[in-house]
Amino acid sequence: MSHLKLANLSLDDLYLSHQRLEEVAKTNPSNPLLSGRGQAGTHDLRLGIKVLKELKGSKEGSQIKIPVFEKSLFEGQGDRLSESEWVSVKGKVDVVIFEGWMLGFHSISNEKLEGLCKKSQRQAKEELGLDYDEPFYLGQKEENLRVVNEGLREYEEGLWKEIDTFLELRPERMGYVWEWRLEVSELGSFLWNGRLEGDGIGSEEGNGVEEIKERVCTRFHAEAKPPLFLLEVSAVADRGISYSLFDPLVARAQHEVEEWRDWNDG
């Protein structure tokens, strides 16, 4: 029996260096969405494209370095480790698993964004199908949301195009996203005396959960309807790999892409 050689890359390991993250925050001093890592605009897209291309073009004798971002550095703000500490992948790679919380997120039209920002709390909940009372994005200024939305287009035009197939893990309800974050933070309070340094959300006010809800969960809302994560599927048949197992998923993904386009154009 032949075996497939796998390599794993996380979007989290593509965050900009601590210095560059600080530069992004200083360039956008009035935009809390870019005050730390997480949103579109805080990743090194060139590095991600380079690594994915190298992995896809790997062959016997290849040696590819995969970056590592250490979240515990700088009191939880994190920093990319030096290249000498990156993970080394040797030889030909058959399958690359690229995971990340916002993979496949697409920008929305300026008109759609403007319309969402004008909605009341009740209207926003109905429009996006939220299962909790506070649509976090309504607490953000439209111009700040627009900056992140524009930044996301760079991901669509570059990094996302290096991915052949998107697979989605969808929670039963959106409220789980920040509820799970709260559970992690509470665990951090027990383990690290009130500071979850390893994930960069430690603070005296609620262990940083409010900041996470403000900075990260905002992005989910723009993507919430119809899909929580937008799925796109590209052909992979030329690689000689059978994806018959995923046929139902592919059909559903194609349907959801069309639904999203209708919603975005509407």
**Model pLDDT for residues 92-128, shown as the tens digit of each residue:** 999 999 998 888 888 888 898 888 888 888 888 787 7
| Res. 210 pLDDT band, cuts 50 70 90 | low
Determine the Cα–Cα distance for residues 147 and 30; give it in Å rounded to an integer. Answer: 11
- How much is the pLDDT for 259? 60
pLDDT-above-90 percentage for the chain: 38
Digit-coded pLDDT (tens) for 232-261: 222 222 223 333 333 444 445 455 555 655
Spans of all domains in the chain: 6-265
Q: Three-state SS string across 189-243, please? A: HHHCCCCCHHHCCCCCCHHHHHHHHHHCHHHHHHCCCCCCCCCCECCCHHHCCCC
CA distances from 129 to 6, 135, 225, 227 (A): 37, 10, 7, 10
C-alpha angle with apex 33: 194 to 37, nearest 5 degrees?
60
| Res. 29 pLDDT band, cuts 50 70 90 | very high
Determine the Cα–Cα distance for residues 150 and 140; give it in Å rounded to an integer. Answer: 15
Determine the Cα–Cα distance for residues 162 and 180; give it in Å rounded to an integer. Answer: 30
pTM for the full predicted model: 0.72
pLDDT at 61 over 70: yes
Determine the Cα–Cα distance for residues 266 and 260; give it in Å rounded to an integer. Answer: 10
Q: Is domain 6-265 classified as CATH 3.30.70?
A: no
